Amino acid sequence: MSELLVDQARAALFLSMAVALPIIAVAAVVGLFVAAFQAASQLQDSTLAHLPRMLAVAVALAVLGPWMGREIASFARATFLMASMHH
């Protein structure tokens, strides 16, 4: 039973990383482009640094949100089914 819990914890951590990684990647790539633009144009406005990143993350969440929800719901369903079979 202990090994099963460790496997489920490992799967939960992997799922968390897999679901979060696309959003983090979008934020990082947009941040890199904004930083390059700011360096090239010598604009140092903090709004310019944050607004495009927030908009890109919002769009990524809108596009990837259904997939993220399905993955998390599928994992939860499988976890509850496994828990009910072991009791």
* Residue-wise pLDDT tens digits, 56-76: 999 999 999 999 999 999 999
pLDDT at 13: 97
Listing DSSP states for 45-87 in one string gives -HHHHHHHHHHHHHHHHHHHHHHHHHHHHHHHHHHHHHHHHT-
Token reading at 84: 């009910």
> Which residue type, as a one-letter code, is found at position 49?
A
Nearest Cα neighbor of 26 from 58, 74, 48 is 58
Instruction: Please tell me the pTM assigned to this model.
Output: 0.81
Domain limits at 21? 2-85
- Count of structural domains within the chain: 1
Whether the CA torsion 81, 85, 86, 87 is positive or negative: it is positive
